[in-house]
Amino acid sequence: MTTLILKRLGIGLVTVLAVSLIIFFGTKILPGDAAQIRLGQSATPENVAAFRARLGLDQPYIVQYLVWLKNFMSGDLGASLASDVPITNLIADRYQNTVFVSFATAIIGVPISLALGILAAMYPGTLYDRTLTLVSVSLVAAPEFFTATLLVLLFVFALGVGNAIVVGSTEGKGFFELIAHFALPITTLCFVIASQLIRMSRAAVLNVMSSPYIEMAILKGVPRGRIIFRHALLNAIGPIVNVVALNLAYLVTGVIVVEVYFGYNGLATLIVQGVQTRDYILIQGLGMIFCLTYVILMLIADIAAYASNARLRHPK
Amino acid sequence: MARKHDDDVIFEARDLKIHAVRDDGSELPIVKGVDFKVRRGEVVALIGESGSGKTTISLSALGYCKPGLKFAGGEARLLGQDLTKMSTEELRPVRGERVAYLAQSAAATFNPSILINEQVTEAPILHGSKTKEEADAKALSLYHALELPNPDTIGQRYPHQVSGGQLQRLMAAMALCGDPDLLVLDEPTTALDVTTQIEVLKAFKEVIKKEGAAAIYVTHDLAVVAQVADHIVVLYNGEIKEAGPVETIINKSEHPYTKRLMGAIKPLPEAGLGEDTEDLGRESPALEVKALDAGYGKGADGKPTTMVLRDVNVAIERGKTVGVIGESGCGKSTLARVFAGLLPPSAGDISLDGDLIAPDLRNRSREELRKVQFVYQMADTALNPRHRIKDILGRPVEFYSGLTGAAKMERVYELLDMVELPKPFAERLPHELSGGQKQRINLARALAANPEVVLCDEVTSALDTIVGANVIELLKSLRRDTGVSFVFISHDLSTVASFADEIVVLYAGRVAEQGPTDKVLSPPYHPYTRLLISSVPEMRTGWLEETIADKATLTGMASGVELTDTGCPFFARCPMAIEGTCDKIEPPRRNDGAKHIIECHREIDELMGGG
């Protein structure tokens, strides 16, 4: 088990390194370099050359890569090409919004979705199960902006609560005030992750429910609730934590549409701005952060799956 | 064992009917009005082939129908209550409390994530009939009664940490923990080795007697039935064909179907049962391995970390059959994998038609691959469920002989004919076939390559007695008609004995005994061969008691197969072991003449006695 976890850590590390290579050299093959972009079209070749030397861009790529990686690991992501502000400062402004929205969505959306999915697996084929399946399939198919629009129509225009966009400052607000502040984006995201979580947790539990040991539990007269929570769920944890981790990673990195729709600044909008302004340094730094988020979440999911498996915890 | 004075009926089926509900809502009768009674202290066996409805009927004693089935009429009365009319909630207190179930595969029936003891004591604690302490005490006494190793701590393990035979007995503990009035046992020993089967049967029989429960015992094995049952109910196609006391059915059965079931029982291994096949007069054997060592994993010195096979020499003559027997874990399948090139050996030579060939499959030519074909145990998993039979057979035909179009189909029909299936089967999908038919297709696929050697790994083990016997007949006629050689791997000695010209007895990866079938099955015996022979149940009552009274068999049952590095691996289980010699020095290879080899420290004369 320990070796397994160490192996898994090693794989995670290799993944991060591989992604760092792709991010670094991927941005290098694009036309123009940082010095040209920073100084603009009108800069003289001498100025560009001097600036390149200052940024270390005259060094061989491999040296640049190693320096960049070393700086990244020590927390120095460099300065934005567009504004000369350190990337870490840019991120600090935005990350609170993203982290809060993701966190709130996770603590509200994940437990509710799992409960709904498991309940559907307890009563397969019933009206409840079929309705839930229909709704969750429709939600998977609907794009985020469509879900968001429906919610705005319902709450803002029909019921007259809240604003169609996120307005005002988050300064000095408490937890529940913040929830209210971001109510619509959080609700939208809950719907987005719910569809996948419901379907996967239902499928994972149903899959276990058809195994002979569940039939045995039925034949021992074990009540349905205990069959689900003691006998089935233990063996369905592996696939479920994986889907949860993937959805959490999505919340940190992939919510650009929701951020733009509701007009608040988060990390996803920031990376799009980076692309628009050809701010390579920003793209590299955020790319690495997103990669780390994925790798760490998947690592936690896999370790949780290992830990839930008796065969791995207690080898022969 | 008639207990007529005790007329207390535990379970009674009255005109019981069970239907399968098809997707379109129409119903298909599975059980067509069955009547029988189980009295206290009595074991009633339900026997029949697969599809006879025996499992479905036995589950009615728990008021349970598998998904897709429903009670369609009649009654299943347990202690006077009709279970077919009760709701799941009403049945809950009955299940696990009044009636308990033992399934065929304990490995699948235990929840892999929960400690054994919790699963064993779960039912009585949930039903409130025992406190946790009482249930634990009961479980502990059952572990002792079932002669489980380390009874005090075995409950604190997970199911994967104990052996198959132990898990099977633990399932009995799970069933008995709630002191049920009725036990339902569904083929509880079918998946076990003969030696383990004795051990489990003995434990079941004693515990049933001691606890005073009644039992319904479902099986297709009449020899096992003769050991455990008081009454037999013979089922065919959802109807009772014959019923009566065990002695009557076994010895004086009149019904043609029962006779067919008995006829399919393979005769006990006896000398000279191997079929005489013509010597086709080839100089070199079709397939031969010499001084073979093989194992899994790769150690630092390039040798396998777990050595399985050591110094194995086998020659398969053209048109002959070599049987490989031994309990699970003896290396039988590993040997087949080496023959097929799936597992390159760490030492030794493999030759085909007298020429050395590459140990690794990937380095063999197509022609060499064609000559050696593999047939897997589970036809269910070996056939692609989405391919039609014509594609399953057509693909190797095209690959090896280059035939296409009409010529390919012609060959497919020829193959179907060889395995005695009609042409229209070419258009079917695997799930439209019965188990025996699937195994025939599995075999036809190997024959499609026009092979010289076919490796059969437990091909009849998953089949019923009658269906399995038919497959063996088919193999015999194929051998006669095509001159193909077979390597026939099985843990079932009687099947091997009825078909093989030569037998290799493997124990812990070493050849214990090897030679012509009649020599191996007659004295002198290797002690392990003798144990295997004496463990095959005989179809007469009282056999089990006689066998477990024999001390030699009892010592042999003691434990499972363990791979050892020094001495004779059978040492710990051998009734004739010589302390200080057998555990320290590798046994010499004694040649009894006529290619009959025994690896044992004992002299040939000492190995002559009885068996």
Measured CA to CA in angstroms, residue A198 lies from A118, A137, A202 at distances of: 8, 10, 6
**Residue whose C-alpha is closest to residue B388's, from B426, B443, B445, B436:** B426
Q: Look at B158 and A310 and tell me if their CB atoms are within 8 Å.
A: yes
The number of folded domains in chain A is: 1
Amino acid symbol at A234: L
A110 within a domain of the structure (yes/no): yes
- Does B158 contact chain A (CB < 8 Å)? yes
Kindly tell me if the per-residue pLDDT of B280 is higher than 60.
Answer: no
DSSP symbol at B268: P
Write the residue in B97, B108, B122 that is nearest to A212 by C-beta: B108
Distance from CA of A221 to the nearest CA of B (A): 4
Q: What is the share, in percent, of chain B residues with pLDDT greater than 70? A: 93
Q: Look at A235 and B113 and tell me if their CB atoms are within 8 Å.
A: yes
Distance CA B315, CA B227 (A): 39
Rounded to 5°, angle at Cα A79 from A77 and A85: 125
A158: phi > 0 → left, psi -120 to 50 → alpha, else beta; which? Answer: alpha
Write the residue in B64, B127, B161 that is nearest to A316 by C-beta: B161
In contact, B579 and B546? CB cutoff 8 Å: no
pLDDT band at B271 (very low <50, low <70, confident <90, very high): very low
Pairing state between β B43-47 and B214-219: parallel
Distance CA A130, CA A117 (A): 11
**Residue whose C-alpha is closest to residue A116's, from A211, A195, A210, A226:** A195
Q: Look at A217 and B64 and tell me if their CB atoms are within 8 Å.
A: no
A68 within a domain of the structure (yes/no): no
- Does B153 contact chain A (CB < 8 Å)? no
A180 within a domain of the structure (yes/no): yes
Distance CA B360, CA B345 (A): 8
Kindly tell me if the per-residue pLDDT of B278 is higher than 70.
Answer: no
Write the residue in A218, A223, A310 that is nearest to B113 by C-beta: A310
Pick the residue from chain B with its C-alpha nearest to A208.
B111
Using the CB atoms, write b or e for A44-80: b if 16+ within 10 Å.
eeeebeebbeebebeeeeeebbeebeeebeeeebbbb
Distance CA B142, CA B169 (A): 9
- Does A32 contact chain B (CB < 8 Å)? no
* Best A220, A227, A314 residue to mutate vs chain B (most B CBs within 10 Å): A220
Chain segment A81-130, per-residue pLDDT in tens: 777 788 888 888 788 888 888 899 999 999 999 999 999 988 888 899 99
**Residue whose C-alpha is closest to residue B589's, from B576, B602, B605:** B602
Write down the ipTM of this complex: 0.77
Tokens describing residue B288: 């031969």
Q: How many residue pairs bridge chain A and chain B with CB atoms within 8 Å of each other?
A: 77
Q: Look at A311 and B160 and tell me if their CB atoms are within 8 Å.
A: yes
pLDDT band at B268 (very low <50, low <70, confident <90, very high): low
Q: Look at A217 and B111 and tell me if their CB atoms are within 8 Å.
A: yes
- Reduced DSSP (H G I as helix, E B as strand, rest coil) percent helix, strand, coil of chain A, to 5: 80, 0, 20
Pick the residue from chain A with its C-alpha nearest to B67.
A210
Tokens describing residue B463: 């089949």
pLDDT value, residue B3:
40
Distance from CA of B161 to the nearest CA of A (A): 5
Domain span holding position A127: 103-279
List all residues of chain A from 177 to 216 with a beta carbon under 8 Å from chain B. Answer: 211-213, 215-216
pLDDT value, residue B406:
92
pLDDT value, residue B514:
92
Which residues have C-beta within 8 Å of that of residue A202, sequence separation ≥ 6?
Answer: A117, A118, A120, A121, A129, A132, A133
Q: List the strands of the sheet with B9-21, edge to edge.
A: B27-39, B9-21, B69-78, B81-82
pLDDT value, residue B1:
41
Exposed/middle/buried for residue A107 (C-beta within 10 Å: 0-12, 13-18, 19+)? exposed
In contact, B204 and B142? CB cutoff 8 Å: no
Distance CA A268, CA A282 (A): 12
Kindly tell me if the per-residue pLDDT of B111 is higher than 90.
Answer: yes
H or E, element range at B290 = strand B287-296
Count how many residues are written for chain B. 611
The CATH number assigned to the domain holding A174 equals 1.10.3720.10
Pairing state between β B239-245 and B287-296: unpaired
φ and ψ at B11, to 5 degrees?
-135, 145
pLDDT band at B140 (very low <50, low <70, confident <90, very high): very high
C-beta neighbour count of B140 within 10 angstroms: 18
Distance CA B586, CA B589 (A): 9
A17 within a domain of the structure (yes/no): no
Q: Look at B92 and A223 and tell me if their CB atoms are within 8 Å.
A: yes
Distance CA B318, CA B479 (A): 10
Chain segment B547-569, per-residue pLDDT in tens: 877 755 666 655 566 677 778 88
pLDDT value, residue B4:
42
φ and ψ at A37, to 5 degrees?
-65, -45
A8 within a domain of the structure (yes/no): no
Which residues share a beta bridge with B288? B315, B351
Distance CA A211, CA A194 (A): 26
Distance CA B92, CA B109 (A): 18
φ and ψ at B609, to 5 degrees?
-55, 135
pLDDT value, residue B555:
62
* Best B62, B113, B160, B562 residue to mutate vs chain A (most A CBs within 10 Å): B113
Chain segment A43-89, per-residue pLDDT in tens: 788 888 887 787 777 788 888 889 888 988 888 888 887 777 888 88
DSSP labels for A27-45? HHTSSS-HHHHHH-TT--H
H or E, element range at B32 = strand B27-39
Chain segment A168-185, per-residue pLDDT in tens: 777 777 888 888 888 888
* Best B111, B174, B183 residue to mutate vs chain A (most A CBs within 10 Å): B111
Which residues have C-beta within 8 Å of that of residue A253, sequence separation ≥ 6?
Answer: A267, A268, A290, A293, A294
Measured CA to CA in angstroms, residue B379 lies from A23, B430, B453, B458 at distances of: 49, 9, 19, 11
C-beta neighbour count of A149 within 10 angstroms: 15
- The whole-model pTM stands at 0.76
In contact, B171 and B102? CB cutoff 8 Å: yes
pLDDT value, residue A316:
65
A178 within a domain of the structure (yes/no): yes
φ and ψ at B434, to 5 degrees?
-80, 170
Kindly tell me if the per-residue pLDDT of B450 is higher than 70.
Answer: yes
pLDDT band at A285 (very low <50, low <70, confident <90, very high): confident
Chain segment A219-251, per-residue pLDDT in tens: 999 998 899 889 998 899 888 998 999 898 888
Q: Which domains does chain B have, with CATH numbers?
A: 9-263 (3.40.50.300)
A171 within a domain of the structure (yes/no): yes
Kindly tell me if the per-residue pLDDT of B5 is higher than 50.
Answer: no
Which residues have C-beta within 8 Å of that of residue B210, sequence separation ≥ 6?
Answer: B145
Rounded to 5°, angle at Cα A200 from A197 and A202: 105
Measured CA to CA in angstroms, residue A267 lies from A193, A252, A260, B416 at distances of: 18, 8, 11, 65
Please measure the distance between the N-terminal and C-terminal CA atoms of chain A and give it in whole angstroms.
Answer: 12
Looking at B353-391, which runs of residues are DSSP E strands? 355-356, 372-375
Rounded to 5°, angle at Cα B267 from B266 and B271: 130
A204 within a domain of the structure (yes/no): yes
pLDDT value, residue B273:
46
Distance CA A217, CA B250 (A): 36
Mean pLDDT across the stretch A281-288? 87
In contact, B327 and B561? CB cutoff 8 Å: yes
